[in-house]
Chains A and B, each alone.
Chain A
Amino acid sequence: MKRSWFYQAGLLAAAGLVLWFFVSNTAQNLESRKIASGFGFLAREAGFEIGETTFLAYGAADTYLRALGVGLANTFRVALIGVVFATVLGTLIGLARLSSNWLVAKLAAVYVEVMRNIPLLVQLFFWYAIISENLPGPRDALSPLPGVFLSNRGIALPLPVAHAAYGWILGALVLGIAGAIGATLWARARQAATGAQLPSGWIGLGLALGLPLAVFHAFGAPLAWDTPELSGFNFTGGAALTPEFAALLGGLSIYTAAFIAEIVRAGVLAVDKGQFEAADSLGLPRRRAMRLVILPQALRLIVPPMTSQYLNLTKNSSLAVAIGYPDLVSIANTTMNQTGQAIEGIGIIMLVYLTISLSISACMNWYNARIALRGGAR
């Protein structure tokens, strides 16, 4: 064992030397080139505007720290919505690939192969080029639905006007969902104890939808629309999705959906055929068999790579810097250029993404430990 301690001490010493070499060089270079260092710049005024701010208030007089916060909010916005779209689309396509309909299965296969083999950056540029080069200006905007306008400034949508009732409705929704979960658990326990069944699915749905609906009506059904109108140069009012956001969201979702489709397909295929036959022999209808027997087993194989894809989607959202969407990397880049403090900027980017990755990994490890099969086998 002595030799191994010697080796490790040597490794530590060598690493320490290399680190000292880099650090002293950096300090010397920063000093001789009079580049500022330290995180004090975060309290300085940023001085630049940001194109979209995801519900946060931001102006050029705010600090760099706030600008980076806006960037982070933008990253989360595109990542969360992208994850939802990608999962839904990916699952549909994965199941389509398993379909017995030859045409549908082949179309899904073509989609998966094409989207997986083209770099994400190319896809982003492609979607951005389609939106910005082929849509008309705001004065000649297309209007496929009343209140919805498509132009090269983006998609303008009508938004309901904020009302006090909406806070209550949100609260009622949360309560309804909690009630649905509680009802399901209670019905399951009751079934285990007495064998009597309750349609807990329908009860849950009723709670989750009914409570918010009741609150809505209690307030007198307030639904006023804020429709976008062309005034001056752009559309004011309503919600606007910029071409950058639309291209990034579309590109990320479509790209990640192809990988998720393969994961879902592999997960379902990995469940032993014997399970299907056993469920059949028990007399379970196809859909119940799917829900109670196949999917729980498939999920065990699907969830780890799925979380890894979610992580990839979040990291890939950093490509926003190439099409001008102001996410964290893009704003940190501008900050680095205006203040000259590259090391701190890159450090912030890496810290944020590392935190996100490690937390998602930790969650996944917890989930894995919970559902792990005890006692060997796969």
Chain B
Amino acid sequence: MSWLRANLFSSWPNAIVTLLALWLLWRVLPPFVDWAFLDAIWSAPDSKACRAAKGEGACWAFIAEKHRFILFGTYPYEEHWRPALCILVMLALYAVSALRRFWRPRLVLFWLAGLAAVGVLMWGGVFGLGYVENERWGGLMLTLLLATFGIAFAFPLAIPLALGRRSQLPVVRGFCVGYIELIRGVPLISLLFMASVMLPLFLPAGVTIDKLLRAQIAMILFAAAYLAEVVRGGLQAIPHGQVEAADALGLSYWKKTALVVLPQALRIAIPPLVNTFIAFFKDTSLVLIIGLFDLLTSIKVSLQEPAWAGFGVEAYIFASLVYFVFCFTMSRYSQGLERDLSGQLRLGAKAGALRDA
């Protein structure tokens, strides 16, 4: 009772605001719960029942009907265990990387093994698995693939960029600054267009790269620029004493960077790195615009079948839910990490709750 008094009704304006908020919730929540759960249609053989209930009940039967397509795209039906296994492998990679006791160089080998396993499972052609060309990959599997391979390959590109940006050599610094500012100044869509439309023109006649690889290259180049800025922030936060001590020990530039500077910088930069990954994960949805079949595209395409047209609201709520689960988990993890690590080095920890859009 006293809690209520202190938190909700502590003064007249407060009390009015609380009552207003409660009234708003009363107007909005029960109809929503009715629509989404009580009157909703959970499974139906076709769309007639859904159409009859349109407006009063949500049509989750649409999701039930199309869930395989939404998860795996046009991958052959009998081989769905392969993309399902790949999703598990990639989730395992994330989970392992999140545990602090695995933060040692061996993690890189683990990642390489995981990515190789994903490649073998998806393409097949060896070990008795049937070959599945990558035009047929799609759905949630493709979203995870783009995000995972994107970050994995952007990292080795971002570290030299960050180091180069802080270098004393004018040419090197010029390149790195130019690259980073160029990529960060243009929208991701223009990079995707450039990759899908212009990249084939840059290559000799007869050499073709397929659409998925083009999009993946664009995502890697994009992520590398943003990751480079985060790593640079980490590099700047290292106390100068560390660098001086390494110099005093007589270490060369490369040894100093690899053994002293980078490990500390990366450790500091992990929370903003996770935030960048969350933004990158959301950005994979943009490949819809160049015609790749990720999670959002497959949901949109399911809507296009004439029988199920008009259930956009249910479809996008489902899409939001899937993305929310992934991103919220990562964001909670990042906040927890920040709290743990902020004891080690003050980096304006409260400001660290900020994320890039």
Contacts and interface: CB of A to CB of B under 8 A. Distances in A.
Interface string A338-378: 00001100100110011011100000000000000000001
Contact of B354 (A117, A266, A316): A266
B217 to A, nearest CB: 14
B194 interface: yes
Contacts of B46: none
Contacts, number: 182
Interface residues of B, number: 62
A107 B189 contact: no
Given A121-B285, A122-B296, A270-B350, A357 B185 contact: yes
A129 interface: yes
Interface string B178-219: 000110111111100110011011111100000000000000
B249 interface: no
Interface stretch (B13-21, B72-80, B105-113, B235-243): B13-21
A255 B282 CA distance: 13
Given A119-B282, A129-B316, A354-B182, A316 B187 contact: yes
Interface in A233-287: 255-256, 259, 262-263, 265-267, 269-270
B354 A346 contact: no
Contact of B312 (A25, A133, A259, A353): A133
A100 interface: yes
B21 A103 contact: yes
A309 B354 CA distance: 11
**Chain B interface helix/strand/loop/mixed:** helix
A114 B259 CA distance: 40
Interface string B288-316: 11000000100010000000001011011
B187 A119 contact: no
B7 A101 contact: yes
Nearest to B10: A100
Contacts of A134: 313
Contacts of B21: 103-104, 107
A357 B8 CA distance: 44
Interface residues of A, number: 72
Contacts of A117: 278, 282, 323-324, 327-328, 331
B283 interface: yes
Contacts of B194: 346, 350
Interface in A296-325: 301, 305, 308-309, 312-313, 315-316, 318-319, 321-322
Given A126-B316, A270-B351, A329 B357 contact: no
Nearest to A35: B201
Interface string A121-137: 11101101110011000
B103 to A, nearest CB: 25
Nearest to B286: A121
Contacts of B7: 100-103
A117 B171 CA distance: 39
Contacts of B193: 333, 342, 346, 349
A254 to B, nearest CB: 12
B169 to A, nearest CB: 5
A211 B185 CA distance: 41
A8 B324 CA distance: 46
A129 B312 contact: yes
Interface in A104-125: 104, 107, 113-114, 116-123, 125
Nearest to B167: A4
A30 interface: yes
Contacts of B310: 133
A114 B317 CA distance: 12
A130 B323 contact: no
A25 B357 contact: no
A120 B282 contact: yes
Contact of A329 (B185, B190, B198, B201): B190
A349 B323 contact: no
Interface string B324-357: 1001100100000000000000001011011111
B197 A336 contact: yes
Contacts of B197: 336, 342, 346
Interface of B: 7-8, 10, 14, 17-18, 21-22, 169-172, 175, 181-182, 184-190, 193-194, 197-198, 200-205, 278, 282-283, 285-286, 288-289, 296, 300, 310, 312-313, 315-317, 319-320, 323-324, 327-328, 331, 348, 350-351, 353-357
Nearest 6 CB-CB pairs, A to B? Answer: A129-B312, A357-B185, A102-B7, A117-B327, A119-B282, A312-B357
12 contacts: A11-B172, A12-B171, A26-B202, A28-B204, A101-B18, A104-B21, A116-B327, A133-B310, A305-B354, A315-B187, A346-B194, A349-B186
